[in-house]
Amino acid sequence: MKTYAGKVRALAGISFTVETGTIFGLLGPNGAGKSTTVKILTTLSRPDSGSAEVAGIDVLQQPDQVRRLIGYVSQKPQFDPEATARENLHLQGRLYGVPHRELRSRSQALLDHFGLGKVASRQARGYSGGMQRKLDVALGLIHRPKVLFLDEPTTGLDPEARASMWSEISRLAADEDVTILLTTHYLDEADQLASQLAIIDHGRLVAQGSPNDLKSELRGDAIQVELTQAGVDDHVRTTLVRLGGVREIVVEGTTVRARVDHGASAVPGVLAALESAGVAVTSVTISRPSLDDVYLRYAGRPFGDDSHHQAQASATTEMEVPGE
Ligand SMILES: Nc1ncnc2c1ncn2[C@@H]1O[C@H](COP(=O)(O)OP(=O)(O)OP(=O)(O)O)[C@@H](O)[C@H]1O
Ligand SMILES: [Mg+2]
């Protein structure tokens, strides 16, 4: 449990375990509590109650030991913009006590891995957003951490920079046996990288499993209907509810999403009902469940219904990362 300034309840019961050498994704909308979770696990913030272990070490009892084992890449840039990439890495390495003769080769290896070799002697302030983010991740790795925390490593990156960040993150887990906890807003990122993921919303864990587990939890097909005009939410919802068999209806602007048992047989009825209710439709698509649907169902604001959340008992914050 974590409450900021005595009033903002950021976390209200989260528990998960991450297996060594795997990538765990923490998904959730803005303000869900992702960064707060990461800050507690990296010893930067203390929970009001509950406990957490990283690499088998208690973050509250032995924070110094935890800090030596982990790398942390915060959501906000951490590098010194006045210094070059190489200088940043050397400084960080000295802070972490990396032996002098190892520091040069370690820095060079990281510069090469992240494609920063060519710009290593230029001030970091002049780097592109993607290069700056890569430098931040490289800084988190200088002391060869066993566990790496990445808070939104790819937010704001273009597709190419994201793809190269993804391959570097996968490589770290696969080849160097680094255990990685990453937070993200991107479903494709979680799907691509994480072997296990948790969706959090309003400081609570609302779903957990492998991307495939979560997808297969959803019954039936997703249908998406595009309307010609927005602002008819209630009208659309009432019409579809009356039809029966249409579940989890979400209206956002001109987009209506819902779930039905058999897409192909349900669509004609949906369209007819909307037409007779005077709602004009531009297109309709049917799809098998995707991680998007899982996310919408669990963390989509329309489902972030507080009465539902209150039904769950308030629990403590128990986090164990990873089981060694
Ligand atoms: N230092 C702070 N002081 C007060 N409230 C805070 C502080 N940090 C976070 N909060 C609040 O705690 C809640 C969770 O915030 P947190 O930063 O953990 O969310 P997040 O999931 O990381 O969101 P985002 O996707 O926007 O980064 C929010 O309501 C936020 O406003
Ligand atoms: Mg955050």
Beta pairing partners, 224: 257, 285
What is the residue with the minimal CA distance to atom 16 of ligand 1?
Answer: 33
Topology of domain 2-214+307-321, CATH = Rossmann fold (3.40.50)
8 compared with 192, residue with greater pLDDT: 192
Q: Which atom of ligand 1 is found nearest the CA of 34?
A: 21
Q: How far is the CA of 34 from the centre of ligand 1 (A)?
A: 8
Structure confidence by residue, pLDDT tens digits, 138-187: 999 999 999 999 999 998 888 988 999 999 999 999 999 999 999 998 88
Task: Look at 267-271, 294-298, 309-313 and tell me which has the smallest mean pLDDT.
Answer: 309-313
Ligand 1 test: best mutation among 1, 8, 317, most atoms within 8 Å of CB? Answer: 8
Q: What is the pLDDT of residues 180-208, one digit of tens each?
A: 999 998 888 999 999 999 999 888 898 89
**Can you give the residue ranges of every domain in the chain?**
2-214+307-321, 219-288
Nearest CA owner, ligand 1 atom 2: 4
**What class has domain 219-288?**
alpha beta
208 touches 14 (CB < 8 A):
no
Higher pLDDT, 74 or 301: 74
109 CB within 6 A, ligand 1? no
d(CA 243, CA 274): 10
Q: Can you tell me the mean pLDDT for 310-321?
A: 36
The model carries a pTM of: 0.78
Are 178 and 20 in contact by the 8 Å Cβ rule? The answer is no
pLDDT at 301 over 60: no
Helix (H) / strand (E) containing 224: strand 221-227
Q: Please indicate whether residue 202, judged by its CB atom, sits closer than 6 Å to ligand 1.
A: no
